[in-house]
């Protein structure tokens, strides 16, 4: 989520988004090779499929548009929608639950409700 947030706010390439250079060295060194590979998959996949991912999100927004969303909420939604579309081996309920937990930690007081509602709508359309 933080890499997608960085990509959205700072721009750059998908490679820049997954290099984890924004983390301090102690935290970056603590990331296992497997976790970093999975991060690269999620971030690069989200960016490469950004038009389709954003389209899924946009279809769930009523009287709202992507430009008005919190950048944190948008990063969480992008990563999660990518997973719903392309990580079929992961149950949708697990993806949504993880997104809700991330929104509780990094979003506003109401972010988790918003993220849950959008992702549940996407889940119903894609499964």
Q: What would the pLDDT profile of 40-55 be if each residue is shown by its tens digit?
A: 899 999 999 999 999 9
pTM: 0.92
User: Which CATH number among 3.30.200.210, 1.10.287.3240, 1.10.940.10, 3.40.1390.20 corresponds to the domain 2-126?
Assistant: 1.10.940.10
Q: What would the pLDDT profile of 84-126 be if each residue is shown by its tens digit?
A: 999 999 999 999 999 999 999 999 999 999 999 999 999 999 9
Query: Could you give phi then psi for residue 88, rounded to 5 degrees?
Result: -65, -15
Q: CA Rg, the chain, in Å?
A: 14
Q: Give the number of other CB atoms < 10 A from CB of residue 97.
A: 13
Domain extents in the chain: 2-126
Q: Say if CB 58 and CB 95 are below 8 A apart.
A: no
Q: What confidence tier does 18 reach under pLDDT thresholds 50, 70, 90?
A: confident
């Amino acid at each position: 989520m933080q890499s997608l947030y960085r990509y959205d706010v700072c721009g750059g390439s998908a490679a820049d988004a997954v290099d984890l250079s924004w983390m301090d060295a102690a935290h970056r060194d603590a990331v296992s090779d497997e976790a970093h590979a999975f991060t690269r998959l999620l971030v690069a996949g989200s960016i490469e499929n950004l038009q389709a991912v954003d389209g899924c999100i946009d279809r769930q927004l009523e009287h709202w548009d992507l430009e008005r969303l919190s950048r944190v909420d948008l990063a969480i939604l992008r990563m999660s929608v990518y997973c719903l579309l392309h990580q079929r081996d992961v149950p949708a309920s697990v993806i949504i639950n993880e997104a809700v937990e991330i929104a509780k930690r990094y979003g506003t007081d109401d972010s988790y409700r918003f993220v849950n509602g959008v992702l549940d709508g996407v889940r119903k359309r894609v499964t």
